[in-house]
Amino acid sequence: MYSFLRQFKTLLDKAVLTFCGFAIVTLVITVTWQVFSRYVLNDPSSFTDELARYLMIWFGLAGASYLFGKNGHLAITLFSNAIKTPHRKYVHLLINLVSASFISMAMLKGGVLLMSRTMTQFSPALQIPMAYVYCILPISGTLMLIYLALNTVEVFTPNKSVSEGK
C-alpha cells in the first residue's frame, strides 16, 4: 500500500513540476516579448502584461502545492522540536488538520465562491472570464489536501522498509 502511495506521489510531483516548468517557460517568453515589443518595436503588446500576471499567479500557487508535498512550506518548528520524538507525529497530525481546515475553507470554498462571482467578469486584455484565473485556488487547494493526506500517512507508517517488502 505504501509503495502505491509513494508512486502516486511521485507521479503527482512530476505532473505539478511539468506544469510549473511549462508556466515558467511561457512566463519568460511572454515577458521577453513584452520587453522586445516595447523597446525595439516601440509598439507594446497589449496582452503580455496581463498574461504574465496570471501565469505568475498560477505558477506561484502550483509551486506552493508542490512545496506542501515536500514538507517545504514555512513552519515554526520550535514547539514540535521540543516534543519527544515518539509524540511528534501527533503534533504533525494536529498541524496537518489545522492546515487542511484552512485550505478547505479559504482555497476550496472561497475559491469556488470567487469563481462563481467572477464568471461574467472578463479580463481587460485577454477577454477571458476571471473565473478561469481564479480556478487555480480550488485546484491548488485540492493538490495541497492530497499532499497533506499523503504526508500524514507517511508520518504514521510505522516502518516503511517493512511495509514495502524490502
- Note the pLDDT of residue 163: 39
Closest to 89 (Cα-Cα) out of 156, 144, 146: 156
Total domains, the chain? 1
- Note the pLDDT of residue 159: 65
Q: Which residue has the higher pLDDT, 163 or 112?
A: 112
Angle of helix 110-117 relative to helix 136-156, nearest 10 degrees, comes to 170
| Span 56-91, pLDDT tens digits | 999 999 999 999 899 887 777 777 778 887 888 888
Residue 71 — left, alpha, or beta (φ > 0 → left; ψ -120 to 50 → alpha)?
A: left
Report whether pLDDT(161) > 60: no
- Note the pLDDT of residue 25: 97
139-148 mean pLDDT: 96
**Domain coverage including residue 139:** 2-163
Distance from C-alpha of 108 to C-alpha of 88, rounded to nearest angstrom:
28
Which residues are paired to 129 by β-bridges? 122
| Span 14-25, pLDDT tens digits | 999 999 999 999
Distance from C-alpha of 138 to C-alpha of 41, rounded to nearest angstrom:
39
| Span 4-14, pLDDT tens digits | 888 999 999 99
Distance from C-alpha of 59 to C-alpha of 52, rounded to nearest angstrom:
10
Distance from C-alpha of 13 to C-alpha of 19, rounded to nearest angstrom:
10
105-124 mean pLDDT: 95
Report whether pLDDT(114) > 80: yes
Task: Give the Cβ contact number of residue 58 at 10 Å.
Answer: 20
Band (pLDDT 50/70/90 cuts) for residue 1 is low
Band (pLDDT 50/70/90 cuts) for residue 112 is very high
Lookup: cell for 15: 505532473
Report whether pLDDT(166) > 70: no
